[in-house]
Structure 1
Amino acid sequence: MTNYLEFEKPLAEIEGKAEELRALARKNQEMDVEKAAAALDKKAGDMLRDIYKDLSPWRKCQVARHPDRPHCKDYIEALFTEYTPLAGDRNFADDHAIMGGLARLNGQPVMVIGHEKGNDTKTRIERNFGMARPEGYRKAIRLMDLAHRFGIPVVTLVDTPGAYPGKGAEERGQSEAIARATEKCLQIGVPLVAVIIGEGGSGGAVAFATANRIAMLEHSVYSVISPEGCASILWKDAEKMREAAEALRLTAQDLTKLGVIDKIIPEPVGGAQRHRKETITAVGKAIEAMLKDLSGKKPDALIKDRRQKFLDMGTKVLAA
């Protein structure tokens, strides 16, 4: 069953009518409804293309948060072989919001790390909706250290509303853990590539995306704060999230112009949530291409490349 977003309601009505006609035909074999249903299908297809042709930043936020989009676990299961999960930060606990472990991508050993939101009520609670605690970032640091020691490339899959802001997380050093994870990204002498697969929220995303190469799915978002949080701070009104989304420049298209990301991965018409397999395949190809681009570079060159990338962000825009 398709989960329709608010702006897709007209589409839901048309597709619902087509299904109703076909349901009637299944009950009464003498009814010939295929021509009428096909016409509705065409109308729905045209409407879907029109809707997704020019999504506003706020609508892209809604698509990026769609519960049916592929999550980190889906990508790991589909793209990587011999995945061996590694748990815990060797200090406090294992944070289920963060997945990570050794795996192979087309035979190449990699360390894959990502945020996992969960796909139903039970797993979303278990994964804390992809909002990591300090132990999650410390686990990621441990895995990046391991990858550095053995010369294994790191692949990160970013999909989080932001780091968990709870009292316990703050008491255990949330901001310090995020800063250390970001620092570790800049220190490791192996290729580091990141893909924003849904939401890239705040420092919780930066801690995984301080990479040599950063790609974003076409309808994903990446920002310093959520539109609702921004609206609450600037206008004292969370309902101004549409204006905030415009101002934050959080779309893949805006971030490419600003030099924040390197590559946009196109999504099929209707978004990743409607075409999961095709989207996962496209992400796999993008990861392979980014790793190939970095292969053969020496550790010092990789570190220098990564640091310079972040020092250069925004300079082209300012120069223009």
Structure 2
Amino acid sequence: MNILKKGRVALGVIAVGAVVALAGCAQGDPTAPETGDAAGGGSSSTIIVGSFAFPESEILGEIYAQALTAKGFDVQTKFNIGPRQQTIPALQDGSINLIPEYNGNLLAYYDTAFTQRTTEDVDSALTDAVAADELTVYSSAEAEDKDAYVVTSDYATANGLTSIGDLSKVQPLTLGANPQFAELGYGLPGLASVYGVDQVTFVPYEDFGGPDTVKALVDNTVQVADIYTTSPALKAENLTVLEDPENLIAAQNVIPLLSSSIDTPELKEVLDAVSAKLTTDDLITLRDRVEGDEQASANTAAADWLKEAGLL
């Protein structure tokens, strides 16, 4: 998660309010326009898929690219571009024209004070927000990669914990997370105001849900930790993500963002089919294959997932 979170910090998304959540470089400048028939260096019909500069985004980019190639689209890829301050202009100038995004973080890019929290509400607001930049979003996936309040499964069972509000039963408690968590709307302030959990000793960890945070949780240095929902550690360490019925943490569903100029029913059909199949558990497995001991390439992991999903 360290690589992933560092990528997200660079995205520059800030959570605002008590109940609103946030969000390796390629050689040369992958966002710079190239010469060719179109700004992106390909023909006007070429789909140029980009990604952020962290492994999960590249995997998702591969999934989009391979799914489209299988349906006869002319596809190029430009991965590991960087934060939204680079990817949004790249979409606008044609350097790329499609990228896997996260709906909540993308909405926050356009409106830092957004109040929508559910997938449906975030998606609805996002459609209008991106249109101002001549961009389009399609259907979002069930798959989400977002902050979560996490405990060990043993601790959850012993104390009857299933949702964040249940933490009120085990106060006082110790919570581990990145230093900013003490002030973010979905962090300690929201935990107190939304769920009434206010007897919390905060322990900061700089790895944003990475190995140090996970170790502290597993060895009971902290009883609760902020860990991302696609972290392979969730399965490896038998951890439990607490439910968030009040939507303290805004939706962060994977969603295709594209230049409106390439929007067609055929393109939408392919990408909607991917979104209809992609789950959070799938992202955990994909990340584990690429970032774990197997060290599979993003290309290979994506191809295997598409075959298993019946999309390749």
With the length of structure 1 as denominator, give the TM-score of the two structures: 0.28
With the length of structure 2 as denominator, give the TM-score of the two structures: 0.29
Structure that is richer in helix per residue: 1
By relative contact order (CA 8 Å, sep 6+), the higher-ranking structure is 2
